[in-house]
Amino acid sequence: MVTIFWDVDDVLNDLMRAWFTEAWKPARPQCTLSYSDITENPPDRVLGVTRTEYLDSLDAYRASDRIRDLRPNADVLQWLRESGHRYRHAALTARPLASAPSAAEWLFRNFGAWLRSFCLVPSRPPDDVPVYDRDKGDFLRWFAKPGVLIDDTEENTRAAERLGLHTILYPQPWNHSTLTVQKTLARLSQIAEAN
């Protein structure tokens, strides 16, 4: 069975949109940007703030109670209900280690019928934490199983392609995907079925 690796934030959920509308904008009423203006990820330059200010705000949102109620991506859930049983699935996320427990709980509560593995590449790891993988490409090289990576970040898809994995770029304002969500998921089915 082909394994499909799913990015969590902004693929299985809408973290950036939720953070932007529920945390960033209310704390900064002078911000005139809309979500569609977030054309870079990380968006610190677009927001006109330092990377630290952006990450501190995002980390605080991830640690809040609101994150538990983050809605799962309905299109992905529908695809999993229809096609998920044909493949194995794993989550592969890059986020701070401190936010991993709540992300794993959210993932298994919303997608546990299909996703049975939660894989983490810690972003910004503390000095006292071993670094096994620098990025998702390192993790996938170690994992060394043929599969498909679906991700919203072009750097991650390029790293996986260099390893010989099939990749799909999930459409978001900060990447160059020209597909709709439905066409993206249809493409996923085509690639996974062919393997």
**Is 150 a residue whose pLDDT tops 70?**
yes
Q: What is the CATH number of domain 3-14+71-194?
A: 3.40.50.1000
For residue 55, CA distances in Å to 44, 76, 134, 178 come to 9, 27, 18, 28
Domains in the chain: boundaries: 3-14+71-194, 15-69
pTM for the predicted model, two decimal places? 0.83
Residue 146 — pLDDT band, cuts 50, 70, 90?
Answer: low
Contact assessment for residue 99 and residue 63, using Cβ atoms and an 8 Å cutoff: yes
How confident is the prediction for the chain on average, in pLDDT?
94
- 31-85 pLDDT, tens digit per residue, is 999 999 999 999 999 999 999 999 999 999 999 999 999 999 999 999 999 999 9
- Split at pLDDT 50, 70, 90, the class of 164 is confident
* String of DSSP letters for the chain: --EEEE-IIIIIB-HHHHHIIIIIHHH-TT----GGG--SSS-HHHHTS-HHHHHHHHHHHHHSGGGGGPPB-HHHHHHHHHHGGGSEEEEEEEE-GGGHHHHHHHHHHHHTTTEEEEEEEESS--TTS--S-SSHHHHHHHH---EEEEES-HHHHHHHHHTT-EEEE---TTS---S-HHHHHHHHHHHHHH-
Least confident among 57-66, 67-76, 123-132, 136-145: 136-145
